[in-house]
């Protein structure tokens, strides 16, 4: 793959119109729904007037299935280091899909590749489930986020990565707010309190910070 400065952004997603994500999931990854997803993603970018500074390749797949072939078919070169980002994604996937995702990322990652992802450790407490964040998403977007979260006990993907030779760092969102001096502050019955942000580098012996 090549793009501006040799950087290519590959978007692997079921559906970029998040409001339709649950509908797409109900269709079990129906190819028509996935094709619509690719169009929706392009529409969002165009509507925002965003001009990509790198090549952008949408790959519409259901991450509950085997998506490695689609990514390779879209041109991913596993011999080169890759930066992977899964923000706000694993919360919606079954534990088996998260385990597979980590295995595939490891398989397709050259040494020096980086991965950032977000998990939610616990099922939200009742008070957190009633927090305004979720009520607002229901009212403003028509999305019941809590109904979309997967209820499986979560795997320890950071430990899995460490066992595969990745150096991992696990923190709360607030560790990063402190580090960079910007971002959300803790609130009563905080919907982010159970979230962890994990950063990992493959084969990163000797790297002290990233």
Please report how close the Cβ of residue 93 comes to ligand SAM at its closest, in angstroms. Answer: 6
Which of 59, 92, 166, 204 binds ligand SAM (CB under 6 A)? It is: 92
The yes or no reply on residue 18 touching ligand SAM (CB under 6 A) is yes
Opening angle at CA 134, ends 131 and 136, nearest 5 = 105
Q: Which residue has the tokens 């960079």?
A: 180
Site pattern 61..90 for ligand SAM (x: CB under 6 A): -xxx----------------------xxx-
H helix runs in 65-125, sequence order: 68-73, 95-107
At 87, is the secondary structure helix, strand, or coil?
coil
Cα(150)–Cα(123) distance, integer angstroms: 9
Phi, psi of 25 (to 5 degrees): -60, -40
The yes or no reply on residue 6 touching ligand SAM (CB under 6 A) is no
Nearest residue to the partner ligand SAM, using Cβ: 14
Which of 13, 98, 106, 124 binds ligand SAM (CB under 6 A)? It is: 13
Please report how close the Cβ of residue 85 comes to ligand SAM at its closest, in angstroms. Answer: 7
The yes or no reply on residue 98 touching ligand SAM (CB under 6 A) is no
H helix runs in the chain, sequence order: 21-26, 31-47, 68-73, 95-107, 126-129, 132-136, 145-148, 157-163, 173-180
Which of 15, 82, 109, 113 binds ligand SAM (CB under 6 A)? It is: 15
Binding region for ligand SAM (CB under 6 A): 13-16, 18, 21, 25, 62-64, 87-89, 92-93
């Amino acid at each position: 793959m090549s793009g501006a400065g040799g950087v290519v952004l590959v978007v692997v997603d079921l559906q970029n119109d998040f409001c339709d994500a649950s509908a797409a999931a109900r269709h079990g990854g129906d190819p028509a729904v996935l094709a619509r997803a690719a169009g929706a993603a392009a529409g969002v970018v165009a509507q925002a007037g965003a001009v990509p500074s790198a090549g952008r390749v949408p790959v519409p797949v259901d991450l509950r299935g085997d998506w490695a072939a689609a990514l390779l078919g879209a041109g991913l070169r596993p011999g080169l280091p890759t930066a992977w980002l899964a923000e706000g994604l694993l919360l919606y996937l079954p534990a088996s899909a998260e385990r597979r995702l980590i295995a595939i990322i490891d398989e397709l990652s050259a040494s020096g590749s980086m991965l950032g992802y977000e998990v939610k450790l616990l099922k939200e407490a009742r008070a957190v489930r009633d927090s305004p964040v979720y009520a607002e998403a229901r009212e403003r977007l028509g999305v019941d986020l809590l109904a979309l979260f997967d209820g499986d006990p979560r795997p320890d993907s950071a430990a899995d990565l460490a066992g595969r030779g990745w150096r991992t760092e696990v923190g709360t969102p607030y560790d990063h707010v402190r580090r960079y001096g910007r971002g959300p502050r803790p609130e009563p019955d905080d919907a982010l309190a159970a979230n962890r942000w994990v950063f990992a580098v493959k084969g990163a012996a000797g790297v002290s910070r990233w």
